């Protein structure tokens, strides 16, 4: 038979084990809630950065007019000859490459165009 003292020790051990289990469960729930809060904060920061980037990207664009096809010099422009194009402001007009027209007869003959 189990004596009274042994019953008390067994009961105290079971109670202590349940208290430790309850403490461990509360720690798990606390850190899970903290992790969820941290993840929510990171998601909101990420969304804010994406919105900021999109607005900056949209503000950095400018519309320019570009030739839709090759247009010979002296030709009157028609509606379909020009199209609007969006370019980024940092690579805008300063970085456009201009295509020079074919050399004139004077340049082909060796004369200067001055």
Is a pLDDT exceeding 80 seen at residue 60?
no
Instruction: Write the CB contacts of 112 (distance below 8 Å, at least 6 apart in sequence).
Output: 106
Looking at residue 57, what is its pLDDT? 75
Write out pLDDT tens, residues 9-46.
999 999 999 999 999 999 999 999 999 999 999 999 99
Is a pLDDT exceeding 80 seen at residue 89?
no
Domain ranges, ordered by start, for the chain:
1-59, 60-114
Distances (CA, A) of 96 to 11, 36, 46, 52, 91: 86, 49, 34, 27, 8
Confidence of residue 2 (pLDDT cuts 50, 70, 90): confident
In three-state secondary structure terms, 79 is helix
On whether the CB atoms of residues 83 and 69 are closer than 8 A, the answer is no
Write out pLDDT tens, residues 66-82.
888 888 888 888 888 88
Distance between CA 69 and CA 80 in Å, rounded? 9
Looking at residue 113, what is its pLDDT? 47
pTM score, whole prediction: 0.44
Longest dimension (CA), the chain: 125
């Amino acid at each position: 038979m189990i004596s009274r003292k042994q019953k008390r020790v067994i009961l105290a051990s079971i109670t202590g084990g349940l208290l430790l289990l309850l403490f461990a469960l509360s720690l798990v729930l606390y850190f899970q809630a903290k992790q969820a809060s941290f993840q929510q904060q990171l998601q909101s920061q990420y969304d804010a950065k994406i919105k900021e980037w999109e607005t900056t990207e949209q503000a950095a664009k400018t519309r320019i007019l570009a030739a839709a096809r090759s247009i010979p010099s002296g030709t009157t422009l028609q509606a379909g000859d020009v199209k609007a194009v969006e370019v980024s402001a940092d690579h805008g007009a300063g970085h456009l490459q201009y295509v020079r027209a074919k050399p004139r007869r004077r340049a082909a003959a060796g004369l200067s165009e001055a």
